[in-house]
Amino acid sequence: MANQRALPQSKESLLQNYNKRLKDDIRSILDNLTEIIKTAKVEDETQVSRATQAEQDHYEMHVRAANIQFLILNDFPSVNEAISLQNQQLRSLQEECDKKLTSLRDEIAIDLYELEEEYYSSSYSQLDSTDLPLCEAYRRWDSWASPDGGDISGSAHGGVEDTDGPTSQETSPKHDLN
């Protein structure tokens, strides 16, 4: 019960604090605008030259305008809260994307394994029992289907000579899902 009473008092004090800050900021903005208007007035009698006075007035107006801009744009508690909220949303989106990508990677690895198993057990695989990498097996299959009888040396296929014996990979490939 005491906690419920403390909560509204806390909100009330927070609201009073915000109202006080708002009044102070508005007072500061009003003071800066008043000084900008005073500075913009041209005075005939001055102790410094007109160019120097104009430059000083110009600089003072820029400083006061920057003060106004700072007071309006840099309300730090609300800016920090918005940044924290945006960070939290982006982190949750990142975690969701990471989970989806991991799931997609696992599914693709399983499908690739199944496709390789199907390929190595099909008629497109080598006629003998030697397992080759897919790119080498495709070159050989392409050379068997070529009209010139299988001589692919010097062609666009990379100049790889056709061999009938087993290549350096004599065992079946190991499939790693990671």
The pLDDT tens digits of the residues spanning 145-178 come to 655 554 444 444 444 444 444 444 444 455 555 4
For residues 38 and 155, give the distance between their C-alpha atoms in angstroms, rounded to a whole number.
Answer: 86
pLDDT of residue 91: 96
Average pLDDT, the chain: 74
Q: What is the 3-state composition of the chain as percent helix, strand, coil, each rounded to the nearest 5?
A: 65, 0, 35
Contact (Cβ atoms closer than 8 angstroms) between residue 61 and residue 37: no
Handedness of CA 71, 76, 81, 84 (dihedral sign): positive
Q: Is the pLDDT of residue 143 over 70?
A: no
Identify which of 9-13, 26-30, 76-80, 125-129 has the greatest average pLDDT.
26-30
pLDDT of residue 161: 47
- Rounded to 5 degrees, what angle do the CA atoms 32, 34, 36 make? 70
pLDDT of residue 99: 97
Domain assignments of the chain as residue spans, ordered by start:
13-138
Look up the pTM and report it: 0.33
Give residue 54's Cα distance to chain centre: 47
